Amino acid sequence: MALLGLESGIWRFPEGWVAGCIAGMSKTAFLFAGQGAQSVGMGKDLAEAFPAARALFDEANRVLGYDLASICFQGPESVLTQTENAQPGIYLVSWVALRLLQERLPSLQADATAGLSLGEFTALAAAGAMSFEEGLQITRLRGRFMQEACDATRGGMAAVIGLDEGPCREVCEATGVTLANLNCPGQIVISGPADRIPAAVDAAKARGAKKAIPLPVAGAYHSPLMASAQPRLAEALSRVRFQAPRVPVISNVTALPHGSPETIPPVLIDQVTSSVRWEASMRHLLAQGFTRFIELGPGTALNGFLRRIDKSAQAFNVCDGASLEATVQALAGTP
């Protein structure tokens, strides 16, 4: 199912797509993890059990010129959590999970893809907008540029639990911080200068937040403090040969599908300093009739967000051998 593009401001989908929706066809979205999902050992059991997975880890090492696989499998955690390792590592493990699921269930196809921040790059590769190799290289560079932006500034982040977007936005405006992640009802992440985060935490609690907790992060992701990474990312993206996605890929910035290939890089550049509109992205897919969501890659945070957004949605995940087997068994024979 190919997304044909944007003409005169109107999305045009393949012939028969709308008819399929009307007929009640089950629609599946593949979801991809973002930074923070990494853990030492991720992907190891998949590489040990499946030759196809081992081959992908070996290919990644060749493309990057260093042993990313060993960092994923063995750490140490201090090395894995470095942004320039965590981002390609999560991308790689997510790609392995995708390929193994497709190998086991060849008839299973995504009708759309989406990814949280870093995961948007995996979502684009999964939809054919760029190659696996290009995605691996660009996520490595993106991680490096973002780490350098963190090192050049003094930023922080905090999770705000149990406060709606409106009051949280007012807290941000009053304290000089930014809405970084709008993950799901009752969970928002704020970002900004480290010396302003304590005041923002106190203000959020005063406005009725159940919890407001500073996060152990390297910097102020998805805030203006990341702006220095954008020109270098733009230059790197100019070397990627973007293609029209085969299926809609939801943008974190707009919570709507990406458009033509030439419009993809500017949105990815904006994403570095913009809010991640994850809840709105999922609500867009739900409104389009999506009922089945498969999270691919380390962790299960995206399924947790989905349950808070719509408990009726079917949620599956593949992060290791056990979850792969469980998802295959659950999906085998379903339309």
- Look at residue 317 and tell me if it is in a domain: yes
Please state, in angstroms and as integers, the Cα–Cα distance from residue 15 to each residue in 3, 12, 218, 246, 288, following that order: 10, 9, 47, 14, 16
Task: Tell me how crowded residue 127 is: count the other CB atoms within 10 A of its CB.
Answer: 24
Residue 181: pLDDT band with limits 50, 70, 90: very high
CA quadruple 111, 116, 118, 119: dihedral sign:
negative
Distance CA 73, CA 75 (A): 6
Domain interval for residue 185? 154-214
* Positions of E strands within the chain: 5-7, 10-12, 27-32, 112-115, 155-161, 178-184, 187-193, 211-214, 249-250, 290-296, 314-318
Question: Residue 282: what pLDDT?
Answer: 98
Q: Give the pLDDT mean for 216-245.
A: 96
Residue 13: pLDDT band with limits 50, 70, 90: very low
238 catalytic? Reply is: no
Q: What percent of the chain has pLDDT over 90?
A: 90
Last residue of a domain, one of 214, 240, 256: 214
8 catalytic? Reply is: no
Q: Give the pLDDT mean for 149-159.
A: 95
Q: Is the pLDDT assigned to residue 251 strictly greater than 60?
A: yes
Residue 218: pLDDT band with limits 50, 70, 90: confident
Q: Point out the catalytic residue in the list 39, 94, 222, 251.
A: 222
Query: What is the three-class DSSP state of 25?
Result: coil
Distance CA 98, CA 95 (A): 5
Question: Residue 12: what pLDDT?
Answer: 41
Both 56 and 129 in one domain: the answer is yes
Question: Residue 332: what pLDDT?
Answer: 87
- Structurally, the chain folds into a number of domains equal to 2
Q: Give the pLDDT mean for 179-189.
A: 96
Residue 335: pLDDT band with limits 50, 70, 90: low
Question: Residue 334: what pLDDT?
Answer: 66
Residues 266-297 have pLDDT tens digits of: 999 999 999 999 999 999 999 999 999 999 99
Dihedral over alpha carbons 174, 180, 182, 186 (to 10 degrees): -60
Query: What is the three-class DSSP state of 27?
Result: strand
Residues 313-328 have pLDDT tens digits of: 999 999 999 999 999 9
Q: Is the pLDDT assigned to residue 16 strictly greater than 50?
A: no
Question: Residue 25: what pLDDT?
Answer: 64
Q: Point out the catalytic residue in the list 39, 94, 117, 191.
A: 117
Question: Residue 71: what pLDDT?
Answer: 97
Both 65 and 131 in one domain: the answer is yes
Question: Residue 15: what pLDDT?
Answer: 38
Last residue of a domain, one of 214, 244, 260: 214
Nearest to 95 by CA among 333, 329, 325, 296: 296
Residue 22: pLDDT band with limits 50, 70, 90: very low
The answer to whether 12 touches 5, Cβ cutoff 8 Å, is: yes
Q: Is the pLDDT assigned to residue 189 strictly greater than 80?
A: yes
Q: Give the pLDDT mean for 10-37.
A: 64
Average pLDDT score, the chain: 92
Both 74 and 172 in one domain: the answer is no
Both 59 and 180 in one domain: the answer is no
More confident call, 332 vs 148: 148
Last residue of a domain, one of 214, 238, 257: 214
Question: Residue 58: what pLDDT?
Answer: 98
Residues 290-303 have pLDDT tens digits of: 999 999 999 999 99
- Look at residue 239 and tell me if it is in a domain: yes
Distance CA 143, CA 82 (A): 8
Q: Is the pLDDT assigned to residue 4 strictly greater than 50?
A: no
Both 192 and 269 in one domain: the answer is no
